[in-house]
Amino acid sequence: MKYGREPFGVRMGMRIPPTRKPFLGRLRGNLVLATINALLKLRVIDSNGADAARVLLGNEGMIIQLGSGISGGGGGTTSSIAVLYLRSLGPNHYECTEAEDLTGDAIYVKRPPVMSCDTSRLIGGIVWSYTYSTSQARTASATGYTSESEIVTPTLESGDGIICATLATPETIDAVVCTHIDLNVSARAWTFVADA
């Protein structure tokens, strides 16, 4: 052999049948899949320590189980995932459709909590107040602090695909009934913008 050592089976005069390699390949592949499955059993914990969501990889694909923190009180229900296409924005919801060309019935999607258009929020013991010029631009101010301009980054544009989950219980938000919630896979957030 090239490195001066022969495999154990060859040294001992044994012949290794060729069927062993595919079996070992399948075995290794199954071990890899089992490891990936274990790694993909993710848990999202809410501020109270309860399960907000769990992501599982099963034989049928990815399953997201939503807890009461996200599902609006349904608790532990299995939710379906959908890609919906943005038609328009409201303060705390999106109007979407299932069709990429934006035709079809409206489906209302709840904005994720981090993206909602709150008028105020307590952050680090400081009450911040918000004034909105659009549903993607606002001014943040707090007593004793300099006001700052913030925008949604990355921005939401008409036709964008929104990955969302069905809500266990539909919620009325901005006078429309939302049946889904944006999972915020794009990690959109309010970000500081320096004034020109």
pLDDT digits (tens, 9 = 90+) for 79-117: 678 889 999 999 999 999 998 899 999 999 999 888 889
Q: What confidence score (pLDDT) does residue 134 get?
A: 93
pLDDT at 139 over 60: yes
Q: What confidence score (pLDDT) does residue 22 get?
A: 46
pLDDT at 157 over 60: yes
Average pLDDT, the chain: 75
Q: What confidence score (pLDDT) does residue 36 get?
A: 52
Higher pLDDT, 119 or 61: 119
First vs last C-alpha separation in the chain: 71
The SS3 call for residue 62 is strand
**Residue count (the chain):** 196
Residues 69, 75, 76, 79, CA torsion sign: negative
Q: Confidence band (pLDDT; 50, 70, 90) for 186?
A: confident
Cα 25 vs. chain centroid, distance in angstroms? Answer: 33
- Distance CA(70)–CA(137), nearest Å, equals 25
Q: What confidence score (pLDDT) does residue 173 get?
A: 93
pLDDT at 71 over 80: no
pLDDT digits (tens, 9 = 90+) for 18-68: 444 444 444 444 555 555 555 555 555 555 555 555 555 554 455 555 554
Domain 80-193 in CATH 3.90.550: no
| H-type alpha helices, the chain | 8-11, 20-39, 68-71
Dig out the tokens for 196 from the structure: 């020109």
